[in-house]
Amino acid sequence: MIRAHRKERPKILLKTMTEVTSADRVAYLGPEGTYSHAAMLKYFGPGQNAVPVDEIPTVFSHVESGDCAYGLVPIENSTEGSVTQTLDCFGASSLNIVGEVMLRIEHCLLASKATIESGITRIISHQQSLGQCRHWLEDNYADVEKVSLFSNADAARSAVSQTGLAAIAGKTAASIYGLEILNENIEDVHDNTTRFVVLSKGDLPDPTGQDKTSLILSIRNEPGSLFNALESFKIHAVNLIKLESRPSRKEAWSYSFYVDIDGHRDDPNIAAALSDVAEHVLEYRILGSYPAAVSE
């Protein structure tokens, strides 16, 4: 981290999405057919030079090395909470958040054309997806074996060639792998949404009037230090929309705080609040200011 209030930030303008070309490689959590893949298509559009990778840290490393211009990673789910691996990667990375996208998680029961619903003997998916459809599965397939795999896309690929095997995945996976949609919207919570963020080495986009700022705070280990830092947001009428602690990994039982606020860091009240915050923390780093996505 840096003492952000002590340094002048370089002015590197991020390309707008209309300027992003197919030559700009985008790393995402693959393989094809995952919800990360669907979020990447929603944000960047079809025809992008996409690079699927196996792990969230690998998305970061592809962008840090310059192999990809952008990366896309999940950061939180409306029912499951934060993706802690993503938060921890930000603690060790210098990459910026330059955009976000919200994706409704609409689980479908998929199978090959040779499989009929009454002939399903096993249902496979990512462990989280199985959990998000638990009540529906209990009501409809209580006696059918459920098996967790590495990703929904892996489940969809397995279902292509195995009669009697059904997968839980999204419509993108059904289209890619040529599977039949036996049932759709089988998730127990129908407004289940995952938020993804876009990574880049570039600096933040210009203010739009509907922005979000993310930062990491390192707090002194003394009474009232977190309260004093957060009070700065209240004094300057800044809406604090997320606060989560994560181990700092610098020493045992020390923590950093991931914070999301409404507004752009160039907004006068945000700039004033961050100036005050700087007086109450050991250090902080702004991860990015970027256009806020509209929830579906």
Residues recognised as catalytic: 194, 196
Looking at the fold, whether 40 and 168 belong to one and the same domain comes out as: no
Question: Tens of pLDDT along the chain (296 residues)?
Answer: 434 433 333 333 344 444 565 568 999 999 999 999 999 999 999 878 999 999 999 999 999 999 999 999 999 999 888 999 999 999 889 999 999 999 999 999 999 999 999 999 999 999 989 999 999 999 999 999 999 998 999 999 999 999 999 999 999 999 999 999 999 999 999 899 999 999 999 877 899 999 999 999 988 888 888 999 999 999 999 999 999 998 877 767 678 899 999 999 999 999 999 999 999 998 899 999 999 997 66
Question: How high is the pLDDT of residue 19?
Answer: 56
Alpha carbon dihedral 233, 231, 281, 196, in 10-degree steps, equals -40
Looking at the fold, whether 159 and 211 belong to one and the same domain comes out as: no
Residues ≥6 apart with Cβ < 8 Å to 172: 33, 35, 37, 38, 41
Which range marks the domain in which residue 88 is found?
Answer: 16-104+192-203
166 with 174: CB under 8 angstroms?
no
Question: How high is the pLDDT of residue 248?
Answer: 76
Whole-Å CA distances, 3 to 33, 74, 244, 275, 277: 41, 27, 20, 11, 11
Looking at the fold, whether 120 and 224 belong to one and the same domain comes out as: no
Query: Whole-model pTM?
Result: 0.85
Looking at the fold, whether 164 and 37 belong to one and the same domain comes out as: no
Question: How high is the pLDDT of residue 11?
Answer: 32
Question: How high is the pLDDT of residue 157?
Answer: 95
The domain that holds 75 is classified in CATH as 3.40.190.10
Distance CA 48, CA 269 (A): 37
Looking at the fold, whether 55 and 40 belong to one and the same domain comes out as: yes
